[in-house]
Amino acid sequence: MTKIKVAVVGGSGYTGVELLRLLLEHPQVDLHAVTSRTEAGRLVTEVFPQFYGHTIAGALKFELPDISILQEADVVFFATPNGTAMQSAQALLQAGTAVIDLAADFRLDLDAWNSWYNMKHSAPELLPTAMYSLADLASPGLPGATLVANPGCYPTSVQLPLKPLLAAGLIDLTKPIIADCKSGITGAGRSGKVQHSFSEVSEDFTAYGVEGHRHWIEIKQGLEASAPAGTSLDFTFTPHLLPIPRGILSTIYCSLAKPGLQALAHVRATLTKTYEHSPFVQLLPVGHVPHTKWVRSSNKCHFNVFQSPSGQLVIISVIDNLMKGAAGQAIQNMNLMNGLPETLGLSSLGLVP
């Protein structure tokens, strides 16, 4: 089988280097180019010594993101800030190159983009053609797709357990849904900001984006897509910063349409059936509370469901924000787009400890 020629734009950030780590070991990938404006001209092994000794990485240099180089690839991953992929996507698509964007450029419609992102969208004509792909609930249209919006990390952790329950009518939509979510510091990106330094983050725990975080609209629109047509959910999302390198834990509170232990059993049966053939999404045994360490460095999502004494449904969901929340899911999407087994290059289990 011919290998997929791949380029990574933004290869020196946390998500970019995670893509490199996975793509260098992917049996059906030819890593064509890796770009970084800040590290252009340097060997990948100079910037990331963990790749020393790897034959391909040892000869690979970071390049400037020249469109002519990117157009030679079959697939280009954009591990870049919001607003970057939209500037090159049209030229790449016209050259027959598929685009997988790990930022938010193609996740929302134009009205939502204009409301939540303080920049003009430079390729609004592409928004209706982009496929938002939560890989484990992938659309039948994903094979052969050419423009894919990879979901955000928080949205992945919240939508995977909730969407099947909304589709099955098991959630009381007259009551609020609350997502109380925590992320490791790598979710803020690989920057030199003082507030993200060890001294500031260590032994601290804080909420942020309380009055409005951009992932709120992404999660809300994803959940409403699984609810009855015309539904507008009462949805609250509050992110928090954990003093750990990587991982997301989302605690989700909602009300069952028909409370009771039988309803909880129905919830478990629905989630089991939805993900019975999924290699990456795991409903844990009754009573087991998910830990972020259990999924660290894997493409897994672990979650479980509980019923509070008041009858409220409590869902706890964990992922690795750089894997299932970014690079891992992006490669899973690439595999599905190209008719490959979705697990290819993604079979590593979580690290212990």
* Owner of token pair 């087994």: 341
Q: Rounded to an integer, what distance in angstroms lies between the CA atom of residue 81 and that of residue 166?
A: 31
* 23, 345 Cβ separation under 8 angstroms: yes
Tell me the C-alpha distance between 152 and 133, whole Å.
10
Question: What SS3 string covers the chain?
Answer: CCCEEEEEECCCCHHHHHHHHHHCCCCCEEEEEEECCCCCCCEHHHHCHHHCCCHHHHCCEEECCCHHHHCCCCEEEECCCCCCHHHHHHHHHHCCCEEEECCCCCCCCHHHHHHHCCCCCCCHHHHHHCEECCHHHCCCCCCCCCEEECCCHHHHHHHHHHHHHHHCCCECCCCCEEEEEEECHHHHCCCCCHHHCHHHHCCCCEECCCCCCHHHHHHHHHHHHHCCCCCCCCEEEEEEECCCCCCEEEEEEECECCCCHHHHHHHHHHHHHHCCCCCCEEECCCCCCCCHHHHCCCCCEEEEEEECCCCCEEEEEEECCCHHHHHHHHHHHHHHHCCCCCCCCCCCCCCCC
Active site residue 153: yes
- Using an 8 Å Cβ cutoff, are 107 and 154 in contact? no
**Strands of the 75-78 sheet, one edge to the other:** 62-63, 29-35, 4-9, 75-78, 98-101, 147-149, 131-132
The residue annotated as part of the active site, out of 153, 181, 254, 301, is 153
* Residues with catalytic roles: 153
